Structure 1
């Protein structure tokens, strides 16, 4: 068929299936795998587990492709940990001491729903500041929803 890299092609097809797994949570395929492999968490937080099938291992490999190529949609920032989630293209560089419990919502001015420039300039190095400030925030997000 002329595929140059069969493994990459296979991984891209698996990533498409994993994407469906993330978004089509009402399918029978999703429900069966959820009950077997990740009953108490989401697909994105699932672990390999005990005695996984070949398909499950493949889906987790594809999930890694999705994670690497995805970018967070910030919304109101309540569910994104500054240090615990990959929401920027590079690792954050703090000017001072890292703040482990810091959430992205803490970097947003709750009155204007804009980035809190002063706080961002106080916490982060120049390149990370510019990357954060270049992320558009949605103006029509209700508090508590994303």
Structure 2
């Protein structure tokens, strides 16, 4: 049930629940980026423990790519591995062609192994004006359910 509340903190940003916790515990970052503060309430510590479950059972659906970190957000089936030494691009947006709104194949071929390029090219870029969204990967509907959490734990 705590994972459900953590999911709400990620997806219901207009709720009173979100606004109260955002103001108190993570005013300058997102829920997934926040760390345990000094003297937290028991409920907040429990919600932070649910972060691991959320991260394990979800994936990012690419939007504009401006806020999606290549190495730290799960947007690929397997974590990316670069074929060259850094400095690497940090945001997914840097792998897109600004003019066409599609993946920049030259950049992909430069930075990633061939199999990883195919993984990236298989991701559709439909809505480049929206932020990426977190979807639940543990069921076909990609919607969070308490029942589906038990497959992750």
Instruction: Please report the TM-score for the alignment, with normalisation by the length of structure 1.
Output: 0.76
Q: Deviations over 1:50-87 (max 9, x none)?
A: 11222111111112211222211211211123234332
Aligned mates of 2:47, 2:15 — CA distance in 1: 16
Report how many residues are paired: 131
SS in 2 for 1:114: coil
8 Å CA contact 2:64, 2:128 repeated in 1: yes
Per the alignment, do residues 116 and 15 of structure 1 end up closer, same or farther by CA in structure 2, a change over 3 Å counting?
same
SS in 1 for 2:50: helix
Per the alignment, do residues 23 and 48 of structure 1 end up closer, same or farther by CA in structure 2, a change over 3 Å counting?
same
* Partner of residue 26 from structure 1, selected from 7, 14, 21: 14
Q: Which residue number corresponds to residue 85 of structure 2?
A: 97
8 Å CA contact 2:65, 2:128 repeated in 1: no
5+ residue gaps, structure 1: 1-12
Computing the radius of gyration from Cα coordinates, the structure with the larger value is: 1
Tell which has more relative contact order, 1 or 2 (C-alpha 8 A, sep 6+).
2
Moved over 6 A (4+): none
Please state which structure has a larger fraction of its residues in helix.
Answer: 1
